[in-house]
Chains A and B, each alone.
Chain A
Amino acid sequence: AAGVIQSPRHLIKEKRETATLKCYPIPRHDTVYWYQQGPGQDPQFLISFYEKMQSDKGSIPDRFSAQQFSDYHSELNMSSLELGDSALYFCASNRDRSSYEQYFGPGTRLTVT
Chain B
Amino acid sequence: AQKITQTQPGMFVQEKEAVTLDCTYDTSDQSYGLFWYKQPSSGEMIFLIYQGSYDEQNATEGRYSLNFQKARKSANLVISASQLGDSAMYFCAMREGQGGYGGSQGNLIFGKGTKLSVKP
Chain A residues with a Cβ under 8 A of chain B: 31, 33, 35, 41-45, 48, 56, 58, 88, 90, 92, 94, 97-104, 106-107, 109
Contact = CB atoms under 8 A, between A and B. Distances in A.
22 contacts: A35-B107, A41-B112, A42-B112, A42-B113, A43-B91, A43-B108, A43-B110, A94-B105, A97-B105, A99-B104, A100-B50, A100-B52, A100-B95, A100-B101, A101-B47, A102-B35, A102-B108, A103-B47, A104-B44, A104-B45, A106-B43, A107-B43
Interface in B34-53: 35, 37, 43-47, 50, 52
A45 B110 CA distance: 9
Nearest to B105: A97
Contacts of B100: 97-98
Contact of A109 (B33, B43, B52, B95): B43
A89 to B, nearest CB: 11
B44 to A, nearest CB: 5
Interface centre among B107, B109, B111, B113 (most CB of A within 10 A): B107
Please give me the 8 A-B residue pairs with the lowest Cβ-Cβ distance, nearest first: A104-B45, A45-B107, A42-B110, A100-B104, A97-B100, A106-B44, A43-B110, A97-B105
B43 A45 contact: no
Given A92-B45, A100-B104, A104-B44, 8 more contacts: A42-B111, A42-B113, A88-B43, A97-B100, A97-B105, A100-B95, A102-B35, A104-B47
